[in-house]
Amino acid sequence: GVSSQAGGCSCHGYKPMGGWRFGNTIDGTQAEYVLVPDAQANLAPVPDALTDEQVLMCPDIMSTGFGGAEKADIKIGDIVAIFAQGPIGLCATAGAKLRGASCIIVVDGVDSRLEIARQMGADITLNFRNVDVVEEILRITGGRGVDAAIEALGTQLTFEQSLRVLKPGGTLSSLGVYSQDLSIPLGAFHAGLGDHKIITSLCPGGKERMRRLLNVVASGRVDLGPLVTHEYKLDAIVDAYDLFANQRDGVLKIAIKP
């Protein structure tokens, strides 16, 4: 696949595509007119029946969250734990449901997000402010642990918790963007003998990826509309930035319209 996050100086040979270029090497898309480099590879037609809110998540949030579920290698009947239910974590929840997980356990500290997680397909919601989530997940699984864990925040605590609830041979799919070095406690890592797989990923991008995601949305099998909690006009974008930066009024994602 093609990463939409790789930069121009990428040592791994990826050509920068999709969302990464906007706001980094060229102007962003919060404007009346936008230049799209390599449009033939990046732009995908939007089905007429879909609303702006339905497709708004596809180019980044949905692709990243679903990509995390794909990298977790979730199989039919698997038990999955997902740490953090921001927009990307919520999309990971929806992706895990579509991949056939039989039980999806999600963790967050905001009850309104846990309610939306139920809409996305979560079976069990845990507020980390009220319960020791590692103990509770191990109790739920009878001490076995989960088949796959998805970390969608990017902190030492959630990374470690994701490891501690994994069964031997399980996969940790890491979506978080970390700002500090990580440590792996021996107990969480089974001293290196747990046969765990830890995998990171970037947001998959490009025309074919968008076509597939849009088809999923158009099929009605997932509705990401609840992730768009607020709408602002372009001329009020400063107010939208303030709302998002201060995380007021249960904001998840904001739609900016001309």
pTM above 0.85, yes or no: yes
Residue 248 lies in a domain: no
Query: Sign of the CA dihedral 24, 27, 19, 232?
Result: positive
Instruction: Give the Cα separation of 153 and 84 in Å (integer).
Output: 6
At 257 the three-state DSSP class reads: strand
- Can you give the pLDDT at residue 4? 47
Residue 167 lies in a domain: yes
Contacts of 163 (CB under 8 A, 6+ apart): 149, 172, 184, 188, 189, 196, 198
DSSP H/E element including 172:
strand 166-174
Residue 77 lies in a domain: yes
Kindly provide the residue ranges of all beta strands, DSSP E only, lying in 47-112, ordered along the sequence: 79-83, 103-108
Q: What tens-digit pLDDT sequence spans the chain (258 residues)?
A: 344 444 454 454 555 445 667 777 778 777 778 888 778 888 889 988 898 888 889 988 999 999 999 999 999 999 999 999 999 999 999 999 999 999 999 999 999 999 999 999 999 999 999 999 999 999 999 999 999 999 999 999 999 999 999 999 999 999 998 999 999 988 888 888 889 999 998 888 888 999 999 999 999 999 998 999 999 998 999 999 999 999 999 999 999 888
At 37 the three-state DSSP class reads: coil
- Can you give the pLDDT at residue 5? 43
Contacts of 26 (CB under 8 A, 6+ apart): 35, 37
**Total structural domains within the chain:** 1
Name residue 138's amino acid: L
Residue 207 lies in a domain: no
Residue 114 lies in a domain: yes
Residue 11 lies in a domain: no
Biggest distance spanned by C-alpha atoms of the chain: 56
CATH at 180: 3.40.50.720
Which residue range(s) make up the domain with 173?
A: 66-200
Residue 178 lies in a domain: yes
251 in Cβ contact with 229 (< 8 Å): yes
- Neighbour-count burial for 211-220, b at 16+ CB within 10 Å, e otherwise: eebbebbeee
Residue 193 lies in a domain: yes
